[in-house]
Amino acid sequence: MAKNTSSSAFRKIDVDQYNEDNYKEDDCGESQSPPNIEALKTVLRNAPISSRNQMVKDAALNVVMQVLLSVKSSQIEEAVNALDRDHLDILMKYIYRGFETPSEGSSGQLLAWHEKVHAVAGVGCIVRVLTDKKRV
């Protein structure tokens, strides 16, 4: 007992962090709309289409999938309208790549994206997914 009372480091521990009943501020991850659309724009702008590194492309695909699946169905249309033609082409490429590796509920969400992108960019967008040499 005499040994551990010689140090007073225990006074500097923040005990509140170990308390489970603490009041937590609302995480800003709840309201998704503007940050997600911006996230989508950023991710599409930086899409590694010219890269030859398959790992880079796979990593980018995962990020894009996360963004696409996190956007609420009601906000998809707003997101699509915020993109320009080139980004819509890249988005369509990611949608099709997403179809290739389905996860729980992903295909349904991707179909919703597909419908909205097709309504804006037409069949030409889909044709370019097929003809483009540079794949995502």
Partner 1 sequence: MPESLSFGIDPITAHAWNKDRTKLAISPNSPEVHIYHFQRGEWKLEEILKEHDLKVTGIDWAPNTNRIVTCSADRNAYVWTQSEDKKWKPTLVLLRINRAATCVRWSPLENKFAVGSGARLISVCYFEKENDWWVSKHIKKPIRSTVTCLDWHPNDVLLAAGSTDFKVRVFSAYIKEIEDRPVSTSWGSKMPLGLMMAEFSNSTNGAGGWVHSVNFSSSGDRIAWVGHDSSISVADASKGMAVSVIRTDFLPFLACLWVSENRLIAAGHGCCPMLFEVNETGKVQFAGKLDASLKKESSGVSAMKKFQSLDRQARTETNDTSLGTLHQNAITSVCLHTGNKANATKFSTAGVDGLLAIWDFNNLESAMRGLKFN
Closest distance of CB 48 from partner 1, Å: 11
Tell me the Ramachandran region of residue 105: left when phi exceeds 0, alpha when psi lies from -120 to 50, beta otherwise: left
Query: Cα 11 to the chain's mean position, in Å?
Result: 42
The contact mask relative to partner 1 for 92-131 (x = CB under 8 A, - = no) is: -----------------------------xxxxx-xx--x
**Number of C-beta neighbours around residue 84 at 10 A:** 9
Residue 50 binds partner 1, judged by CB under 8 A: yes
One of 45, 59, 62, 85 touching partner 1 (CB under 8 A): 85
d(CA 114, CA 130): 15
One of 32, 49, 57, 96 touching partner 1 (CB under 8 A): 49
